[in-house]
Copies of this chain bind each other. A is one copy, B any other.
């Protein structure tokens, strides 16, 4: 089994109202040092695949087709193999 950690972020030129709201809230709470906040998504996918390359191909395809909007978002991911407690059938 593989674990993929996927990070989806808005492209730098895209406005981030959620990040701006978090920034305002932090300033209200007294965090004067914080000067910028960008909010993205973090996803953990567990998946079965023949090998690591196959898992990476699957995750890249999933990012392109569903997880990220390529018009306004960038994505990156890492795939690691998990020691499985149960043997594969």
Q: Give how many copies assemble into the complex.
A: 2
- The answer to whether A25 touches B66, judged by C-beta atoms less than 8 angstroms apart, is yes
Give the number of residues in A that approach B within 8 Å (Cβ atoms).
34
A43 touches B46 (CB 8 A): no
Interface: A34 (CB within 8 A): yes
Choose among B25, B36, B46, B55 the residue that contacts A45 (Cβ–Cβ < 8 A).
B36
Binary B-proximity of A49-67 (CB < 8 A = 1, otherwise 0): 1000001001001100111
Smallest Cβ-Cβ distance to A44: which chain B residue: B38
Q: Which residues of B contact A37 (CB under 8 A)?
A: 43-46
Answer yes or no: A22 CB below 8 A from chain B CBs: yes
Given the interface pairs A22-B67, A26-B66, A31-B58, the reply to whether A44 lies near B48 with Cβ below 8 Å is no
